[in-house]
Amino acid sequence: MSEATASMATALSGYELLADPQLNKGTAFSEAERDAFHLHGLLPPHVSTLDEQISRALQSLRQFETDLERYAFLRELQDTNETLFYATLVGNLEELLPIVYTPTVGAGCRQFSRLYHKPRGLFLSIPHQSRLDQIFAQPRFDAVEAIVVTDGERILGLGDQGAGGMGIPIGKLALYSGCGGLHPATTLPILLDVGTDNTDCLADPLYVGWRHERVRGQDYDDFIEAFVSAVIRRWPRVLLQWEDFAKDNATRLLERYRDRLCTFNDDIQGTAAVATGTLLAAITVTGVPLTQQRVAVFGAGSAGCGIAGLIRAAMCDAGLSESEAAARFFMVDRNGLLVEGMDGLAPFQVPFVQKRQAIDGWTLGHPDRIELLDVVRNARPTVLIGVSGQAGAFGEPVVRAMAECNQRPVIFPLSNPTSRAEATPADMEAWTGGRALMGVGSPFPPLMRDGARFKVDQTNNSYIFPGVGLGVLAVGASRVTDGMFMAAAKALADASPARDNPKHNLLPPVSALREVAANVALAVAMQTHKEGHAPGVSVDQIEERIRAKIWTPCYVPLTAKQK
């Protein structure tokens, strides 16, 4: 599967070969390959280079008027010629990442049923639960090493998209290959179709999913158990990434299965790592030690509490006790600040509730509810993080209050897509007088600072999960731990351009994501070895294993194999 593969034998020929996206080269098939595989006449006579094909693809892409049209074009290219798709993506990450992934993937999920043309990945529905082993047994999946799975219930900030949620695993795995270098043949996107409560989907005559209200309770848990058990039987060493599950399921499923196979939840752990890494980079600019940070998180679901958990662990590493660190977090949800004694607290929220005596004497806008603005004015946080999916939640009063109590306020509105961001960079820049250190979940237009264009950091999981996956798979890790995500966060912080110049960005540019992934992979693999989850691998083997795992998209010579 590596770049150094001399040749590959296949029994396919003619249209069958052209229809296989992993083997198809389009106009780049050589004259010898056209002879061997009966392709003369099926292709134009000119033999193209990969670079010529990339140029043609980019010209076509740039002629479209909307990003959704560009998204559809790239999805079609991926389903037709994977090598060309990834070569185009790798060479143009900054331009294409917002189309392949956030923010455009959100529109792709909403329009999934209308854009669907060719099969990719697996749609596993409850009516076919008894057939999981049979579905997984197809030889085409023999090489699978990494799975991204969703049930479509909490897609970005858009909510229940049913079968349309498949756009997320497809997009995530495109980044695993494009940024992390995993060979696409080793990846598998999966949609667990347990129905949908989205009435628009159910009423849509073109909806491709199971037309049934969303199954919950024991039947849901039984289906998840059947799925995980079948995965372990088929791929006992696979990396399984959970993606965009609702708050009530995300944390409990992670806790249930994290010790049974190599698995993690990117919304909880990946988001936590990128936020922690970016905060560690910001500290080098603000000069406020980690032990003195006060962190307000708007959106106290699984992602928000995951962020708080990893930053708290970093604070403990820096010298605070767990109770001292926990007291520095102010988690705000739909019912306001989480305080002890509140009804309906989820178990993962409990460690971060504020004690009643800690808020005695606060001046409140409303006596029965502690709003985000109350928290900022009274707690005077140094950091404000948003994972609420509520557009505009960081309004002018909130941002100005952050600027009043901090010389360099750290503000991360991380909700995706851009339409759900808690604040825009332009507004934060204006309301803080250009003093904010900011990171956003999806790309926004550049700002003007000191007469020059300044790109706002995209504090997105794409800085973390491709490297985590690469490192874990390179050393054959048996488990994924929180310690590995801490190592990933610190590796990201170490790569911050702001370490050398405080006027520079907190994060490396998106164009450097493959390099970032390799560095994160090395840190994760070293931590995996340290924790004893990389049996049979020595430290001096790790770098070579990572290099050997990184696939660079290029055409491999094909030879004919007898059927």
Q: How far apart are CA 189 and CA 122, in angstroms?
A: 6
Classified as helix, coil or strand, 169 is: helix
Mean pLDDT over 314-322 rounds to: 96
Mean pLDDT (the chain) is: 96
Question: Is 67 known as a binding-site position?
Answer: no
Q: How high is the pLDDT of residue 78?
A: 98
pLDDT grade, residue 6 (50/70/90)? confident
Q: How high is the pLDDT of residue 130?
A: 97
Question: Is 457 known as a binding-site position?
Answer: no
Q: How far apart are CA 206 and CA 305, in angstroms?
A: 37
pLDDT grade, residue 357 (50/70/90)? very high
Classified as helix, coil or strand, 330 is: strand
Q: How high is the pLDDT of residue 135?
A: 98
Q: How high is the pLDDT of residue 366?
A: 84
Given a cut of 50, is residue 1 above it in pLDDT? no
Hey, what domains does the chain have and what are their CATH numbers? 49-245 (3.40.50.10380), 268-556 (3.40.50.720)
Nearest residue to 262 via CA among 539, 534, 35, 76: 534
Q: What is the pLDDT of residues 74-123, one digit of tens each?
A: 999 999 999 999 999 999 999 999 999 999 999 999 999 999 999 999 99
Given a cut of 60, is residue 457 above it in pLDDT? yes
Q: How high is the pLDDT of residue 5?
A: 57
Enzyme catalytic residues: 101, 172
Q: How far apart are CA 307 and CA 464, in angstroms?
A: 13
Does residue 191 contact residue 150 with C-beta atoms inside 8 Å?
Answer: yes
Q: How high is the pLDDT of residue 192?
A: 98
Does residue 248 contact residue 240 with C-beta atoms inside 8 Å?
Answer: no
Question: Is 243 known as a binding-site position?
Answer: yes
Tally Cβ neighbours within 10 Å of residue 515: 14
The label of the residue with tokens 């995706």 reads 416
Q: What is the pLDDT of residues 12-53, one digit of tens each?
A: 999 999 999 999 999 999 999 999 999 999 999 999 999 999
Q: How high is the pLDDT of residue 2?
A: 43
Q: How high is the pLDDT of residue 563?
A: 62
The string of DSSP letters for 309-365 reads: HHHHHHHHHTT--HHHHHTTEEEEETTEE-BTT-TT--TTTGGGPBPGGGGTT---S
Q: What is the pTM of this model?
A: 0.94
Q: Are strands 452-454 and 239-242 parallel, antiparallel or unpaired?
A: unpaired
Question: Is 154 known as a binding-site position?
Answer: yes
Does residue 8 contact residue 20 with C-beta atoms inside 8 Å?
Answer: no
Q: What is the pLDDT of residues 409-440, one digit of tens each?
A: 999 999 988 899 999 999 999 999 999 999 99
Q: What is the pLDDT of residues 44-86, one digit of tens each?
A: 999 999 999 999 999 999 999 999 999 999 999 999 999 999 9
Question: Is 56 known as a binding-site position?
Answer: no
In the chain, the percentage of residues whose pLDDT exceeds 90 is: 93
DSSP code of residue 215 = P
* Amino acid sitting at position 390: Q
Q: What is the pLDDT of residues 509-560, one digit of tens each?
A: 999 999 999 999 999 999 999 999 998 999 999 999 999 999 999 999 999 9
Does residue 425 contact residue 446 with C-beta atoms inside 8 Å?
Answer: no
Question: Is 244 known as a binding-site position?
Answer: yes
Given a cut of 50, is residue 259 above it in pLDDT? yes
The label of the residue with tokens 């503000």 reads 411
Q: How far apart are CA 153 and CA 160, in angstroms?
A: 4
